[in-house]
Every structure is written in C-alpha cells, then in structure tokens.
A and B are shown apart, each in its own frame.
Chain A
Amino acid sequence: MSLAILDGGTFYHHAAIHGQRYRELFDKTIYAPELTADALVGVTFLIVPDRVNPNILRTKRDVLIDFAKAGHTLAVFGENRADTWLPGVTWAPRPTNFWWWLDKDARPPNRLLASEHEFFQAVPFEHTIWHFHGVLTPPAGARALIDVPADPQGRDSGGALLYEDRVTLPGSMLVSTLDPFYHHGSNFMPAATKLLDGFLPWARAKAALRAYSSDV
C-alpha cells in the first residue's frame, strides 16, 4: 500500500474517487471524517482533494502534519482552506473569472515557472489551465511551479497556483488552488479530467517508489 486519498463524501468526490476511471489507482481511500494516524500506516503519498470540508481538515491537522513530518508526500488541492491547517500556506482569495476563455484572443494569465519539474512530464501545463480560486504565497524556500501576475484590479499582488514545499516539514508538500476533483467529478471540464489523467498515475508511481525505497 502506498497511495491514499481522502474522500470528502460529496457526489463529485464519489465520482472521481470511486468511479471506474481512477479507482484502481488508489491503494486506500479514507473518508475524511474517519482519518486517523493508523489509517495512514503504509501510506507514502496522500492526496487531499479540493473541496474537502476544512472544518474536518482542521480537526485532523495533527495527523496530516505528522504524516508530512514523517517524510511522506502530501498533495493538497484548492478550496479547502489549507491556509488554516497546513504549515507555510498563505492564501488570498481572488474573485473567480469563469469567463476568460470566451474571448478567442484572450490569453490566460497562468505562467509555467518550472518546465523541467517532473510534474509537468506527467501533466502538460495546458491541462492545468482553467479558472482559479485565489493565489498562494509560497513560504521561504518553497518553489512556485505555476503562478499568475498581480490582479489587474489591484486586489492582490499575484502568487502561485501550484507550489512545492520541501523545507517547511521533512516531507514534501504540493499545494494548489486548482479544483480538479470537483470539475472532473461533476462531468463539467475536460481540462480537469486531463490533469487527473496525468497526475494520478504519476502520484501512484511516486508513492510506490517511496514505499520501495523505505523498504530496502
């Protein structure tokens, strides 16, 4: 066992996690209210999908932090207020522009900052581009992988949509504002499905590699 995912119990978590497309990729599914340290024994890579109730995640804060402290990998997606339970996370909301793509000449503000990162070998940058919910300020020593410039209306000075933090805790944390589980599980956005098509097999491979290296 190595790759685990939290299940927030919504219909879109159900579709994305228990649906035929991805379910074989998860070694373990943990209903978020039932998360315990024991449930994570043998897990090396834990995915916290977007839109898991942050009231639950705050009550599980110590379990999640201890998991990363043990040197494991935590991937945390958007709209679950990670800034209130995960160390190092600073998040600022930005009103969502759902419509940027309707103008055929429009260019998304998203910028790829680390094209050589292995994440993008699994997930092409264009599959990470849709509307976004706020921006992250990575902590000192963390590395932004995708960012956006300052809000044209001056409400924030820009920030990351995805960053990797290997310094705040002994483990590795991938933190994003994107919400692919909601959009894939709602059957409503092809880019979100393409992101998960790349990300989940990559996460599974990473998890297996770490499980193997900790065994030998």
Chain B
Amino acid sequence: MKPGLALSFGYEDGSLHALTSAGTAPEILLRDIYSLPGIDLNDFSVLFVSMHSDQRFLAARALQIEQFLVRGGVVVANGHHAYSYLPRMAGFHTIHHYRLSDITVLRLTDHPIWHGIDPRDLTFRRGVSGFYGRVWHEAPPDAQIIHALGKPDMPLDFIYPVGRGHVLFHGGNDLWTFGGEDKQLASRIMQWVAGERDVQ
C-alpha cells in the first residue's frame, strides 16, 4: 500500500507527534500544508487532516481533494468543518452550555478502528469530558455513523463514500491522540485502509 500523507501546520504539537510516532506500516509522511498544490496525491493512500489545519486554504484545494477521493483515496479529517474543503459535507452545530449528557459519546455501529475501545474512554480523559468531541455535524444520508454525541441523531464520527474513495470524518480533537498505546488509532486507520474497509 502507498504511504499516508499528513499535513503539518508549522509548529510542534502533540497531535502530529502521536501520528508520526505510531510506527505505522506503511509510514505516514509529513508535508507542510501549503505544499499541497505541488503534491501528487496519487502517491498516497490516505490524507490526514489535523484539526489545526488552515481550512480556508484547503477549501481552495477542494477540487484536488475531491479528485483524490474519486480515484479511491481516503481522507481522514478532524475538527469542525468550517470551510467547504470536503465534498458532500454540510455544516456543524455548536452545543452551547453543554452538560455531560450532551457530549457523551454514543456508539451506534461497531467498527474495526474503534474495536475494543470503550466509548466511556472516549467521553472521559482523566475524568474530564469534551476532548473527543463537542459539536455535531450533519452527515451525508449514506454515511455509516460510528459515534454520535449525546443523541443518536447528532453524528460525531462517520464514514461516507466519494467516488471510489471514502471520507472518515471526526468532528473533534485529532483522532490519533486517542486510544492509548495499545490501541493506537493511527495504526488502526492504516490497517483499515489497507484491507478492511468495512464500509457498507
């Protein structure tokens, strides 16, 4: 399988460290986000988009990203979708003055990337809730919804097709900072892309 590509954002951050130190096979290469126009995405299997990415810039590259998806690429996108850089995405909804019941992670579908990970361990980090997600997005109607936030009709993690490819969307803090050392989500995402794309 081709390597993964992660777009860096100019400063060191725990999220990028978690992604590149996961020891994935194949490896995940880091490139500065603004070098995207000069990159042939056909050289990569997965495009990782951090929550710290300049989405306004990505929106200007939306056609390049869509063509990558149509040809069979996978985009793993994190954060709140504030600019239209992903095809078929609608807006997000902020939950003001949320309580724990509003941001409890609900598992709607089992999926190999999250296999064996208790949703409570996503809701809480050292007893504190909110790291995994605090807003919900409108998912495309044919999306496979893995997790919702508070209520089943408020999608948080979902996978949907674009051409021969897929978008794995996570509307919160970077996915690869979760799962702990023994259930590293970056490695699981690469394994899923490699052979087990269990998507409808």
Contact = CB atoms under 8 A, between A and B. Distances in A.
A9 B134 contact: no
Given A11-B80, A53-B9, A80-B11, A31 B56 contact: yes
Given A9-B83, A15-B80, A186-B134, A54 B55 contact: no
Contact of B57 (A33, A93, A99, A188): A33
Interface in A43-68: 51, 53-56
A12 B56 CA distance: 12
Given A10-B79, A11-B55, A187-B134, A102 B11 contact: no
Contacts of A96: 14
A14 interface: yes
Given A53-B33, A188-B130, A15 B12 contact: no
A55 to B, nearest CB: 4
> What's the dominant secondary structure at chain A's contact region?
loop
Interface in A1-23: 7-12, 14-15
Interface in A29-44: 31, 33
Given A102-B126, A187-B94, A9 B135 contact: no
B32 interface: yes
Interface string A61-80: 00000000000000000011
Interface in B23-50: 32-34
Contacts of B57: 9, 33
A190 to B, nearest CB: 10
Contact of B135 (A54, A56, A187): A187
B interface, how many residues as a size bin? 20 to 34
Interface string B112-140: 00000000000000111010001100000
A interface, how many residues as a size bin? 20 to 34
A7 B56 CA distance: 10
A102 B125 CA distance: 12
B51 interface: yes
A204 interface: no
Contacts of B128: 99, 102
Contacts of B54: 8-10, 33, 53
B134 to A, nearest CB: 5
Nearest to B79: A11
Given A11-B83, A33-B54, 10 more contacts: A11-B55, A11-B80, A14-B55, A54-B11, A55-B34, A56-B34, A80-B10, A102-B127, A187-B95, A187-B135
